[in-house]
Structure 1
Amino acid sequence: MTPVMEKQLMHACRTLFGQEISLSPEFLGYLQLSGAKSAFRLRAKEHHPDRFAEASPTVRQKQNDRFREIHQAYRLLQQFLSDRHRPCPRTSPRERTEQSRHQDIPKKHVARPEGAPLPKHPLEFGIFAYYRGKITYQDLIAAVVWQRRQRPSIGALAVRWGWLSENMVGMIVRQPGAGQRFGDKARSLGYLSQQQVDILLRRQRGLQQRIGRYFVEQGLLSEAEVVQLVQELQDHNRRVLRSQRR
């Protein structure tokens, strides 16, 4: 995979999954088409133009652009994931069978087996719960989308604080750049400084619900299990950071 293609795929993942997921080549490695499709359907439903038929022309245009961006991101990921799972004609059936045994890619609606090796880098709670075999990959995607819906957008916060106007927000959203984050676009246009973007992101994260609440409300985890997983996650991240400092 070329660096340019990897960057495009990362942008596509950011468009469908939001900023909560820690994106890396490893994320692309375990992403499946079923997971991308679920995220696409949720995101497309959230931004479908029919939901904004009575909105102002600026808002309708913003949602149309966002809807088109979501479709483009999904098509790119769909092509990548389909090609990845297409057998190479030079590989024998026996070799393909051996390769499939070693693929570390989650199956639809199936949690990873508890006790499977954890990635050797700091994790967030949802990813950690998945690797510990407590939730499925589909549960993780649904939780991330739920969490994202609970918080205000960066643009809305900037308008509330008087840093941007509604017209500026519309111009930023319409700025070309599939998968590029709102803050990056606003900074490149000169509407926000990097310091302002950082402040907005911190405030946005502070207003969002903890993802563990979703798992409890859906009956996927008990409160005691969430507390235990948080402790295990903290231990894991401390060990990883200590090993990186050596």
Structure 2
Amino acid sequence: MTGPQELTALVEGYLDELALTPELGELAGPIRYALAGGGKRIRPVLCLATGEALGREPEELLPAGAAIELVHNFSLVHDDLPSLDDDELRRGRASTWAQFDEATAVLAGDALLAEAFRLALSYPTPFVGRELVQATLGMIGGQHADTKALGYSLEEIHRLKTGRLFYASIACALWVAELAEADQKPWRDFADELGMLFQVVDDILDGDGYVLSHGEEGARRLADEAAERAQARLASIDADTSVLEEIVAGLATRTA
């Protein structure tokens, strides 16, 4: 099995060499700037690891994993805009709109989203694309609920805003691996735990969200419980999930 670091290197190499649609012209520069922002690539790595656990070569999962990462970066580019979070910095450097301009960032985000669907639709089955569409719509709905204070609970917002794309990281791999729909439930149950785990640990590191609502000890307890549930879900799957187990352990204990 391929370890998380090797999978990350595969993803980075694929993104570095990704051929963008020629019609985008000079917008390719801002798009690549957004993609090169130093993210952890956790979502595509989960996708590749799931596919390999199901007997596929990681390279087969690269278009799907990259599509998920492009959607994630689309959301970051748009979240940073003055009309939303108004952040001039992203991962220690100028956000896309601050580096270029607001109109360019809007268009770069649009292009990232369209390129993501182009990659997802490169598979013979349409279900990879459909899975990604549903995840993206849920993520956007969660962002809207968060910005407009629509009365959603913190967990409801994060299950949409964060959880849907983590869920798709596993679900897209199931379709690429051609796993029968009747056999997908244990994998989807596992996928359902990932967003909560990631978000609670993120809040612990940032000192907000669940830390404000549950206290630091309470938030840590939520993270530990989510990690335990995720590991239990993996234990019920009849496959070599050792790399996924390692990734879950890393998510639970990460410090950045």
Give the TM-score range, shorter chain: 0.3 to 0.5
The structure where helix makes up a greater share of residues is: 2
**Over alpha carbons, which structure has the higher Rg?**
1
Q: With structure 2 as the length reference, what TM-score do the two structures score? A: 0.34
Q: With structure 1 as the length reference, what TM-score do the two structures score? A: 0.35
